[in-house]
Structure 1
Amino acid sequence: MTTLTAPFAGRTVSRVGYGALQLQRLHHSRDEAVALLRRAVELGVDHVDTAQFYGFGFANQVIREALRPADDVLVVTKVGADPDPGGPMPLRLAQHPEQLRASVEDNLRSLGVDRLPVVNLRRLDSGPGLRPDRDQVVDLDDQLEVLTALRDEGRIGAIGLSGVTLDGLRRALPAGIACVQNAYSLVSRDDEDMLRLCAAEGIAWVPFFPLGGAFPGLPKATDEPAVHAVAESLGVTPSQVGLAWLLHRSPNVLLIPGTADPAHLEANTAAGGITLDAEALAALDAIESRSAEVPLG
């Protein structure tokens, strides 16, 4: 069980959470998916990252069934894209204010709640993957206006940002930002300045692709000899070393590794208990950082 904690959206959570994207791999067996999430709670996970477009709503359905009020799990969702089962990709961008509001309502319905504790705006301005183009290029201020209104209405509790630039975060600070989700790992550390700003402002830093290698051509932490050497010396896996390094990087880092495998889930949560000494940290910090800026589409 993880014991490291950090402030997040007005409460204190364990620093290792769970990302629900991989639940869609269990779409053939809802019972297995529910059992996996129940196991996460047993292991001390108390914040879960999700979106209505994960598995075309499957992840949210599983969360609704698996989590109980007594579990007191903070469910964080995101907007900025919608499911698109019939399209060339499984999702389509939905960046306009009216689309963001509709996505919030979709998440409320699928999760069966009347308030979303944290909603991340997936901006897609940085990191690997899609970029908004044509009619989906929307000013950040317009997006923050509708999210702030939804917060004032009590539909959401806090606002987060994802795929945002340093300038974008600075512009958004007056709105009150609870967390930032950007691609960041031991081997792709483009956002060091943003991480420092988040730490100074009391904003949780929640890296996605925490081990890198999300797309072909991107570096992977588990390919690094130094990572393997540290893992061998500690009797843990290279993946656990990559996650532990993130937790050591800054006290405001929260992790949301995803998996559909119970053993992998246990290994991920156990990373919160790994201590890296000065020698190990020096060896890991010396690994070259390569950019994660590989846009697709």
Structure 2
Amino acid sequence: MDFGLSTHLFHAERLGPGHLEAMAAEGFSAVEVFATRSHVDYHDAQVGRDLAAWCASAGVRLHSVHAPITEFLHGTTWGPPISTGTASAAQRARTIDECTRALALAEVAPYEHLVLHLGVPDEYAPPTGDNQRDAVLRTLEALIPVAERVGVRIAVEVIPNALSTARQLVRLIEDEELPHLGICLDVGHARLQGDVVDALETVAGYLVTTHLHDNRGRSDDHLVPFEGVIDWGELLIGFQKVGYDGTLLFELAAGADGAAATLRRAGAARRRMESLLGLDFAFSED
């Protein structure tokens, strides 16, 4: 089991080697790249080659890429959505193209998982004709062969909409016989939908990666763990009970004190988790 961090924390900035070095300095050994073109231009193969070199230099592993969900993201304000669940054939074709380009990064910067939203979270008021199960299935039908070709496994994420509860994602995989899909348990999202440990136990058989963040129980705050209402001691015991030994990956929003200060608090939260798990990492002594 190792700890990772999403570049979502820095999404308002152009990603560069300094971000990865700062992550490594706080003891995060894996990274998920948040694919918005204003943050990292995943259309450009040279950007992918640069990303691979930056990761190697910083000593971090490129664990995953978060599939495109919007044209841009400023703070909590979304631009036009890039949705897998739209009923519009033209918009769905665009989504498939954007996700295919994100998958193509793996040809020059190998990674394990493409984390994929099914539709749009409810709080972003999906337009009429979005979050359609049939549309999601058509999108997956197009993307799964591409992912297999570049050696990436798609991980569908628990997000706050009716398509993407823990139970619905398991049902999708089993009913549609999609064994190549895994699940990304986003624990903050799961907390907004009910009990986090129940969600963990529900997805355990398909769990391949995680998003760890906290909230106050009302909105998707993306707080540093231990700063909200989630019982992290209980949840970490749950990960051990289900036998999950993969990456525990933080997905955070920059606090009012800025991204750098949020990263330092994330490093402290990581150390606290290591203590609760009884782990002994080289980075644990700061």
Q: What's the TM-score bracket when you normalise by the shorter of the two chains?
A: 0.5 to 0.7
1:160, distance to aligned residue in structure 2 (A): 0.6
- The one-character-per-residue Cα deviations of 1:9-29 (angstroms, maximum 9, x if unpaired) are xxxxx0x210111213444xx
Structure 1 CA distance for aligned equivalents of residues 268 and 41 of structure 2: 21
User: 2:94 matched to 1:106?
Assistant: no
Report the counterpart of residue 147 of structure 2 in structure 1. Answer: 151
Report the counterpart of residue 32 of structure 2 in structure 1. Answer: 49
Shift of the 240–269 alpha-carbon distance from structure 1 to 2, 3 Å rule, reads farther
Structure 2 regions of 5+ residues with no counterpart? Answer: 87-91, 279-286
Structure 2 CA distance for aligned equivalents of residues 197 and 167 of structure 1: 10
Alignment of 1:139-288 (within 5 A): 139=134, 140-152=136-148, 154-162=149-157, 163=159, 164-165=164-165, 166-173=167-174, 174-176=177-179, 177-184=181-188, 188=192, 190=194, 192-199=197-204, 201-204=205-208, 206-207=210-211, 210-213=213-216, 217-218=218-219, 238=227, 243=232, 245-251=234-240, 252=244, 254-258=248-252, 260-261=259-260, 262-275=263-276
Count of residue correspondences:
240
Report the counterpart of residue 295 of structure 1 in structure 2. Answer: none
1:109, distance to aligned residue in structure 2 (A): 6.0
1:270, distance to aligned residue in structure 2 (A): 1.3
Structure 2 CA distance for aligned equivalents of residues 73 and 40 of structure 1: 11
Shift of the 238–79 alpha-carbon distance from structure 1 to 2, 3 Å rule, reads closer
Shift of the 50–206 alpha-carbon distance from structure 1 to 2, 3 Å rule, reads same
TM-score by length of 1: 0.62
Structure 2 CA distance for aligned equivalents of residues 85 and 257 of structure 1: 15
TM-score by length of 2: 0.64
The residue identity in structure 1 corresponding to 2:10 is L
Structure 2 CA distance for aligned equivalents of residues 58 and 64 of structure 1: 13
1:81 counterpart SS class: coil
The residue identity in structure 1 corresponding to 2:8 is L
Task: Check conservation: 1:64, 1:110, Cα contact below 8 A.
Answer: no
Aligned-pair RMSD on alpha carbons? 4.2
User: 2:5 matched to 1:18?
Assistant: yes
Task: Check conservation: 1:158, 1:178, Cα contact below 8 A.
Answer: yes
Structure 1 CA distance for aligned equivalents of residues 93 and 115 of structure 2: 16
- The one-character-per-residue Cα deviations of 1:129-186 (angstroms, maximum 9, x if unpaired) are 443632663523222212221133x135101112212223322243233332435379
Structure 1 regions of 5+ residues with no counterpart? Answer: 6-13, 228-236, 278-297
Task: Check conservation: 1:187, 1:220, Cα contact below 8 A.
Answer: no
